[in-house]
Structure 1
Amino acid sequence: MTGKILVSACLLGHKVRYDNGDVPCLDARFLKWYEEGRFVHICPEVVGGLPTPRPDAQRQGDRVVTGAGVDVTEPFMKGAQATLKLAREHQVALAILKQDSPSCGSLYIYDGTFKDTKAPGEGTTTELLRKNGFKVFGEDQLDEVEQELARTDGQGIL
């Protein structure tokens, strides 16, 4: 059996982003994994209780705040916990989450200044998943995902 993949809902075209938009991933490999039924999807921010649309938010250390300075750390953490629970329930092999997001970023996130500047870092959900042993990739790392799936599928890991 092939491994399940946890995926950010916005990458599947769901309108869950802060701006009520989506960012569907149209890479042929991503679409193939979707067709194979591998995906388990979630939007940590929505599951954490935030509306769509919602104010833009960025990480500032351990906190997540909106551009107006409102602390939204609690719903971000609630969403991260729900995502971890879902990953465990479905025994996902890995996650493909939306790069740059304050929840899902895996390599870079916005730097907390609200000046459209990115910095190395990870979102709250990515951080929690990694602390619990899950491998997390962005939608721009599908070569690495493909390699990891070949490794885990070859070992019979679900």
Structure 2
Amino acid sequence: MKVIVSACLAGDNCKYNGENNLNQKMMDFLQSHEIIKVCPEVLGGLPIPRPSAEIVEGQVMNNEGKNVTEEFILGAQRAFEIVQKENPDLIILQSRSPSCGIKQIYDGTFSGRKIPGHGLFAALCIEAGYKVLDIEDIDEYLSR
């Protein structure tokens, strides 16, 4: 099985704060599968670390008030090109991210409040019909 994962979930220090979201349960499950790591934000040219960003009225703004929509769109497109080239069996993405969020994203107020929605990369994958899993649903997925 070929699986694309958010690079931060695989332990790459590519989160906005320079850290990662290593998910050992996911990594244990994937050890016998082909893993392809992507970080749309890095692919879009954003640095590590970088100011946190949220989607505000259709635009991606960082917490310093800078519009980074162009970088997020570019990163989503570049990551999606990898998806199209690799044609994975499964895509596992980080929750709530403005790039990778599947079920929810932050509401754009930088208050921690969540709303239903997709990150830019996740939306491309979902709309194209790929099997996409929110990392928060890994336990449920593995119990099937």
TM-score of the superposed pair, with normalisation by structure 1 = 0.85
User: Structure 2 CA distance, aligned partners of 1:60 and 1:128?
Assistant: 18
Question: What does 1:28-47 correspond to in 2, within 5 Å?
Answer: 30-47=26-43
Q: Which residue of 1 aligns with 2:8?
A: 10
Structure 1 segments (4+ residues) deviating >2 Å: 31-34, 143-147
Distance in 1 (CA, whole Å) between partners of 2:7 and 2:91 is 12
Name the CA distance, whole Å, in 2 between partners of 1:32 and 1:115.
33
Q: Percent identity?
A: 37
Separation in 1 of the partners of 2:125 and 2:4?
11
Larger radius of gyration: 1
2:62 matches 1:66: yes
Q: Report how far residue 18 of structure 1 moved.
A: 0.3
Q: In the aligned structure 1, how far is the partner of 2:111 from the partner of 2:139?
A: 30
Which of 64, 83, 89 is residue 87 of structure 1 equivalent to? Answer: 83
Residue in 2 aligned with 1:156? none
- Which is bigger in relative contact order (C-alpha 8 A, separation at least 6)? 1
One-letter code of the match for 2:76? A
Q: Say whether 1:121 aligns with 2:117.
A: yes
SS of the equivalent of 1:6 reads: strand
Shift in Å, 1:146 = 4.0
C-alpha separation in 2, matches of 1:33 and 1:84: 23
Pair 134,144 (structure 1): closer, same or farther in 2 beyond 3 Å: farther
The answer for the alignment partner of 1:51 in structure 2 is: 47
- Give SS of 1:86's match: helix
Counterpart of 1:21? 19
> Could you say if the C-alpha distance between residues 81 and 144 of structure 1 is closer, same or farther in structure 2, counting changes exceeding 3 Å?
farther
Contact 2:102 2:134 in 1 (8 A): yes
Provide the secondary structure at the position in 2 that maps to 1:106: coil
Give the TM-score taking structure 2 as reference length.
Answer: 0.92
Deviations 1:35-87 (A, max 9, x none): 11321111000011000000110011321001122110111111111111111
In structure 1, what is the Cα distance between the partners aligned to 2:50 and 2:21?
16
* RMSD (Å), alpha carbons: 1.6
The aligned amino acid for 2:47 is P
